Chain A
Amino acid sequence: MTLHQIELSGVNKYYGAYHALRDIDLKIRKGSFVALVGPSGCGKSTLLRSLAGLESISAGDLVIAGTRMNGVPPRKRDLAMVFQSYALYPHMTVEENLTYSLRMRGVSKEEARRKAEEVATTTGLSALLGRYPRELSGGQRQRVAMSRAIIRNPKAFLFDEPLSNLDAALRVHMRKEIRALHDRLGATSVYVTHDQIEAMTMADHVVVMRQGIIEQQGAPLELYDRPANQFVAGFIGSPAMNFVPAQVGADGRSVVLDLGTPHTVALTRSIEAGRVLTVGIRPEHLQLASEAEAGLRLPVGSVESTGAATYVTTATQPELVAVLNSRVSIRPGETLLLHLDPTHLHLFDRETQMRLV
């Protein structure tokens, strides 16, 4: 018995000359919740559909629960998928939608009915079993789609941006519900989303993709705290990380930020003097400072307050965004005194955009 429910090694996918997936290596532990995240066209959906068998892979190995699944038709992979469109069968009632997979496997009517009622109870659909999908709200349809997957007790759940058709409030609610369901069922889930917040809040393991490549994978906070490159650093986190062109000072223990005017910041370690870098600073790591401890004195460009936090954008080139967790009365044109904790600086090579280790 293998510890990994799904294993991809050296997976490549071509659409004609277009290279959609490049050398994907991914191991998904049994019972884990894995999020595939990236901008549109990054290959995350293609990867999910390849797992499901709706797309064939051009090279590499796909192993599900210890069995090599390349070329096995979707119906024999025992995976359940929740589609972005839900793909409910419009001519069937909720109950018929739920029991479809059981009926296709020749489960008896009474058994199918009993299971449908059981699942409907856990997902709050009991009163809706006789309805047709067109008579349901968006959230209810979403629940039917989930229940249809649950009833099968599959080897893994595949989610293809399942929340993108819901309004913001319901999305936050369903996020928790899906995660709670995952934990209760002890299921293995692969979840595709373009929303990094969804990925960060729901998953145990986040896979960031771009242009068919896995840029980085790991625990959500590991990606947040130690992004492997500038792309991941900019993609994870909201508001996005600030990037500033910089050069290591002559002593090798400080870095000079180029914000239109030079600003020197101390480093916690030494780097070869004169090296050209990009420095990444998370908005929450720029905090108000007193006159004495201020490392940065920057002119204010604009101020936005959400009530809980204040977003200050500086009038520098490039702009910096600072998220201040207090209410500050500061107006555009005034000078902002900021403290920058050197332990929170992210250093990237200017050329390769890779993190300096």
Chain B
Amino acid sequence: MRRLLLSIRDGRGFDIGLVSVPLIFLFAMAGLPLIYNIVMSFQEVDMFSLGTFARPFVGFKNYITLFSQPETWPILGNTAIFVVASIAGQFTIGFALALFFWTGFPGSSWLRGLFLVSWVMPGLVVGAIWNWILSGDFGVLNFLLKESGLVAANIFWRSDPNFSLWAVVIANIWLGISFNMILLSVGLSAIPQDLYEAAELDGANVVQRFYTITLPMMRSSIGALVALGLIFTLQQFDLFAAITAGGPNNSSNVAQYWAWDLSFRQYDFAQGATISVIMIVFVMFASVVYVRSTRHEVRG
């Protein structure tokens, strides 16, 4: 005890003391549940063994059962579509908006700030609003599509199995645009203006400047953003709960919603944990990309 106090007083070990506080916090709040979740995916869990840690280990039986179920592959496919479409939509529109506001017209920074409103809204509220917009009978989206002649009849976004997943994708893109835009705006404003002037004098036109200056200089921002986007999209739960609840007939079900459904509505905790573990693998991959891209920042 005396030695410990001394090590803090003389400065040696104090740094370790400081680091250990967040490490202990992280381990208790994130590490333990993660390990518990992985352990559970190899155990047989039912309502009666829920209160104890000593449950029978069953090896990979939960994984085998999971992949023998007919809905597993379609749901994982939905998850992939949801993630790819959401990130693509959020990134493309977010980048376009960031470039638009970057031109610096009067009031641009003010307007850009207003865009953040969509990001601070709770997912359930966004879901409720999009329920109205997407509504089959009286939705604004159907009205616009029909009046502009793009569709002949109302689309029942939330109850048609062909559209239900896309209903959530649309809402999720809307939700994520502002986050993408802000992060990309920060990346854009970090590019020194004189690089563009030099490139202009070197004979590069607008398109060449975008591909040879803007994009390469944004590489770390884009890498970080796509990795964060993957994590956020895999976390997206509220919109599914609010808009389709995974239905109809799992047509809009995704892994994260299914894990919750299995664990807390069907009380099949082992299966829920198994899906979570599969998702953890993907998130770990995204985290590595994120850490690498933020470390390799290019600054002259």
Residue ranges of A at the interface with B (Cβ–Cβ < 8 Å): 52-54, 73-77, 79-81, 83, 85, 87-91, 100-101, 104-105, 133-134, 148, 152
Binds A, one of B123-131, B208-216, B225-233, B244-252: B208-216
A288 to B193: give the CA distance in the assembly, Å: 55
B205 with A89: CB separation less than 8 A: no
**B contact residues, range:** 20 to 34
Compute how far the CA of A129 lies from the CA of B298 in the bound complex, rounded to whole angstroms: 18
**A91–B298 alpha-carbon span in the complex (Å):** 6
Is the pair A83, B198 in contact by a Cβ cutoff of 8 Å? yes
Cβ of A100 and Cβ of B202 under 8 Å apart? yes
Question: Mind listing 28 A-B residue pairs with CB under 8 Å?
Answer: A53-B201, A73-B200, A74-B197, A74-B200, A74-B201, A75-B201, A75-B202, A75-B205, A80-B202, A81-B197, A81-B201, A85-B194, A87-B192, A87-B197, A87-B198, A88-B300, A89-B195, A89-B213, A90-B298, A91-B216, A100-B199, A104-B203, A104-B208, A105-B203, A133-B300, A134-B299, A134-B300, A148-B198
**Cβ–Cβ contact B202 & A90, under 8 A:** no
Given A104-B208, A134-B299, A134-B300, A87–B194 Cβ distance below 8 Å? yes
Query: What is the CA–CA distance of A148 and B199 in the complex, to the nearest angstrom?
Result: 11
Interface pair B299/A90, CB less than 8 Å apart:
yes
* Chain A residue at minimal CB-CB distance from B193: A87
Q: Is B283 an interface residue (CB 8 A)?
A: no
Interface centre among A53, A73, A104 (most CB of B within 10 A): A104
Task: Provide the bound-state CA to CA distance between A79 and B201, in Å.
Answer: 7
A residues within 8 A CB of B216? 91
Contacts of A105 in B (CB 8 A): 203
* B contact set with A: CB distance below 8 Å: 192, 194-195, 197-205, 208, 212-213, 216-217, 219, 298-300
Q: How far is the CB of B129 from chain A (nearest CB, A)?
A: 41
A90 touching B212 in the complex, CB below 8 Å, given contacts A83-B194, A85-B192, A104-B203 = no
C-alpha spacing A87/B195, complex, angstroms: 5
Distance (whole angstroms) from the CB of B205 to the closest CB of chain A: 7
Q: A52 — nearest CB in chain B belongs to which residue? A: B201
CB neighbours of B205 from chain A (8 A): 75
A134 to B162, CA, bound (A): 52
A residues near B192, Cβ cutoff 8 Å: 85, 87
Chain B residues, CB < 8 A from A89: 195, 198-199, 212-213, 300
B212 surroundings in chain A (CB, below 8 A): 89, 100, 104
Would you call B203 and A90 a contact (CB within 8 A)?
A: no
State in angstroms the CA–CA spacing of A83 and B195 once bound together. 10
Chain A positions within 8 Å of B202 at CB level: 75, 80, 100-101, 104, 148, 152
Q: Tell me, in angstroms, the Cα distance from A26 to B191 when the chains sit together.
A: 34
Question: In the docked arrangement, what's the CA distance between A90 and B199, Å?
Answer: 12
A75 interface neighbour in B194, B203, B217, B299, Cβ under 8 Å: B203
Question: Cα distance A300–B73 when bound, in Å?
Answer: 97
List of B residues within 8 angstroms of A75 by Cβ: 200-205
> In whole angstroms, how far apart are the Cα atoms of A217 and B179 in the complex?
55
Where chain B touches its partner, the secondary structure class is helix
Write the chain B residue with the least CB distance to A80: B201
Residue on A with the closest CB to B217? A91
Contacts of A81 in B (CB 8 A): 197-198, 201
Minimum CB–CB distance for B256 against chain A, Å? 36
Query: 10 smallest A-B Cβ distances: which pairs?
Result: A90-B300, A101-B202, A87-B194, A87-B198, A104-B203, A75-B203, A91-B216, A74-B200, A104-B204, A91-B298
How far in angstroms is the closest Cβ of chain A from B131? 45
CA distance A85 to B195 in the complex (A): 10
The 8 Å CB contact of A54, one of B197, B219, B300, is B197
Complex-state Cα separation, A53 to B202, whole angstroms: 12
Q: How far is the CB of B199 from chain A (nearest CB, A)?
A: 7
Q: How far is the CA of A91 from the CA of B199 in the complex (A)?
A: 13
How distant is the Cα of A105 from the Cα of B205 in the complex, in angstroms? 10
Cβ contacts under 8 Å, B298 to chain A: 90-91
Distance in angstroms from B201 CB to nearest chain A CB is 5
Q: How far is the CA of A224 from the CA of B181 in the complex (A)?
A: 56
**Shortest Cβ distance from residue A179 to the other chain B in the assembled complex, whole angstroms:** 22
Given contacts A87-B197, A104-B199, A104-B208, 6 further A-B pairs with CB under 8 A are A54-B200, A81-B198, A87-B195, A89-B212, A91-B298, A148-B202
Report which residue of B212, B213, B217 has the largest number of chain A beta carbons within 10 angstroms of its beta carbon: B212
Q: How far is the CB of B36 from chain A (nearest CB, A)?
A: 44
What chain B residues lie within 8 Å of A88 (beta carbons)?
300
Q: A91–B198 Cα gap in the complex (Å)?
A: 14
B219 surroundings in chain A (CB, below 8 A): 91
| A residues in contact with B204, CB < 8 Å | 75, 100, 104
A158 to chain B, nearest CB (A): 8
> How far is B212's CA from A101's CA once the two chains are assembled, in angstroms?
11
Residues on the B chain within 8 Å of A83, using CB: 194, 197-198
Return chain B residues, CB-CB under 8 Å to A101. 202-203
| Chain B, Cβ-Cβ closest to A106 | B203
Most buried by B among A75, A77, A80: A75
Find the A residue at minimum CB distance from B205.
A75
B202: nearest residue on chain A (CB-CB)?
A: A101
Nearest B residue to A103 via CB reads B212
On chain B, the residues within 8 Å of A90 by CB distance are 195, 217, 298-300
- By a CB distance below 8 angstroms, the chain B residues around A152 are 202
Q: What's the minimum C-beta distance from A95 to chain B, rounded to whole angstroms?
A: 14
Determine which residue in A73, A77, A80, A100 has the highest number of CB atoms from chain B within 10 A of its CB, and name it. A100
In the bound complex, CA of A262 to CA of B34 (Å): 93
Cα–Cα, bound, A134→B203 (Å):
24
CA distance A85 to B216 in the complex (A): 20
**Residue ID in chain B nearest A136 by CB atoms:** B300
Instruction: State in angstroms the CA–CA spacing of A213 and B145 once bound together.
Output: 61
Contacts of A133 in B (CB 8 A): 300
| Cα separation A89 to B209 with both chains bound (whole Å) | 11
Complex Cα distance A210/B298, Å?
39
Give Cα A140 to B204, complex, Å.
24
Q: Across the two chains, which residue of chain B brings its CB closest to A101? A: B202
A81 to B199, CA, bound (A): 10
